[in-house]
Structure 1
């Protein structure tokens, strides 16, 4: 057992506890409070003057599938041979020994969602993992966590340049609809086969994942920057009754009430990036503050490696400096991020029974920019301690 005592504990869901302690046992949080009685064999960490938060969560990354330093040899995030590749899995491309995982741990990021890129209309399966380990299968929190789809300039650029559909936003939406209809037809065959096994269709990995999407067994995450692309994503989600999240949501501030009425969650970012393409022309911290004003639940993302993952807390601190409420900012990095991926039963807040993923900070990282991560714990194990 490990006892972290005398800290300012930000539970996220149950307020801030001053001069409090948190007891960890067997990878889980066993107890939180001002007075905890422990046995002699417990390792005690005196964190007087320190701040403890849940481990940070980045809901939208390409960590390990786009490796830094190595260039094209480590670029495994897009299978650009067909605009619809639902059967590919980010799981099979992650290198957990890539440097980005070290950066994540040292920056207090303990859980990430790793996904294919946005070069295809349907990019493939994504998954949620912890950021510590050498075997990706042992790091999994949820797999698959969703299917990646993409709107806007990226698929247009890839396939328009090949003189192949989709070369327009019309074509992009059509490719998506065509594949979802194929999924519906496959699903009907599966339903018929339940009554008559002789009618079972030949197994099709592409259609299997689309059938799960249509049954809402897994979510769909839609890369969409521009307001009109966000609307198209929501239109198609309603047409096929999909469980959708909007990723990036760069122009979400232009249609906040429409997004709120849709009931879908969004992730916002990478706001710290450059305006590298026309879709990012109106990016800014005002997206977050406007969504907050309208009650749209959001998470904050780096889109690593677009913005390095160790800048997740920096991006959030900058958002707070531009008017984002502090509590909403913390929720965007923790419990809202967990809900975005439907893993809030395990991570996202400091509560008894949840995974012991936490960060000890030297000071308040949203206001004191010199604050540093002093220790990062994942599954009850210290995976980083500042020397």
Structure 2
């Protein structure tokens, strides 16, 4: 099947914007440019001057595991019966029929990274998925895409209230060190195993070994600058790839983060100062981080901020000084890189998956909206401007 999006303002993210055509064939991008010839028999969509971009990506959500309006029944974010839950998988708790997936499509978001929560020092394995599908396995882009951990207020509060270890920042750091030390010893036992003397497998330690082997990144929830310093210290002790989730005070250490090439997933931004460690949050932070050379992404932490407001947060960052092109990278290519799927999504490039969105205008303009959304070349969302209603394709 051939699909041609013509008469469009195309923003490929990798490369300069242009007025022209995007040609899609069998679910992938075949060609794009100002002089692309449309083959006979192709389905033509006249963008009528609208903006065509890659689908947006939110690298930190709890979509499908923390269902809105469901209370206890839809809350599967944290398994808080043990501080080390490295083997738990967000994949096993995602409900793809949660309404938030429809909201994501309405916001032009075609991929998300679903994380376990931050109640535990080590919360579990994240998964990168598309935002449309019948069951979660057919939505997966990469599994696992990282191992979620937490420093700061959340784990010390959860276990402090239960009168259990860890109940302080130093106790949380000790929990992480013990877990990685045990995982290293487990690695050694696996390496020394023989067919006659096999080593017993451990799904919790297997997940930690993936981090030690740098197969997946360590996704460290932290807000305060001192917690960020602890995250860096631990990563250098054990040699894993560190990604900072939230990084609220990361702009105070922007030069250090740039020097060490540590990505920051900044957000949520449209929230109150609900606890001590986020009182220094700033919409200026993404721009400060980007100008320092940090690979910054913008996140909603859905449902903390509803997922459809991802682009709104990017626009807010631009309002507070971030370069517009950098803001678009922060919700497309940068998060794709962090979750390990930049070879497939995050920009418009020949050979990549045709996850494409037609916007009514510049998506960084608050008045613009996603009009049509394609995932792998299939139209999954359409907005009717006459009735002001959106329609999601059947799953």
Which residue does the alignment assign to 2:382?
Answer: 385
Task: Report the TM-score when normalising by structure 2.
Answer: 0.96
Secondary structure at the residue paired with 2:352? Answer: coil
Task: Report the TM-score when normalising by structure 1.
Answer: 0.97
Matched, 1:215 2:213: yes
Q: Is the 8 A contact 2:288 2:322 kept in 1?
A: no
Matched, 1:337 2:335: yes
Shift of 1:171: 0.3
Secondary structure at the residue paired with 1:143? Answer: strand
Structure 1 residue ranges, 4+ long, deviating more than 6 angstroms after superposition = none
Which residue does the alignment assign to 2:6?
Answer: 5
Q: Is the 8 A contact 1:189 1:199 kept in 2?
A: no
Which residue does the alignment assign to 1:15?
Answer: 16
2-side partners of 1:369 and 1:137: how far apart? 34
Change (3 A) 1:369 1:304: same
2-side partners of 1:318 and 1:223: how far apart? 23
Q: What count of residue pairs does the alignment treat as equivalent?
A: 383
Shift of 1:295: 0.9
1-side partners of 2:60 and 2:307: how far apart? 10
Which residue does the alignment assign to 1:251?
Answer: 249
| Mapping 1:1-387, distance limit 5 Å | 1-18=2-19, 20-193=20-193, 196-366=194-364, 368-387=365-384
Shift of 1:244: 1.0
2-side partners of 1:286 and 1:105: how far apart? 27
Q: Is the 8 A contact 1:237 1:243 kept in 2?
A: yes
Shift of 1:253: 1.4
1:343-385 CA deviation, whole Å, 9 max, x = no partner? 110001000000000110111121x321111101111111001
Shift of 1:197: 2.4
1-side partners of 2:214 and 2:198: how far apart? 21
Q: Is the 8 A contact 1:84 1:120 kept in 2?
A: yes
Which residue does the alignment assign to 2:388?
Answer: none
2-side partners of 1:199 and 1:12: how far apart? 53
**Structure 1 runs not aligned, ≥5 long:** none
**Structure 2 runs not aligned, ≥5 long:** 385-395
2-side partners of 1:162 and 1:223: how far apart? 21
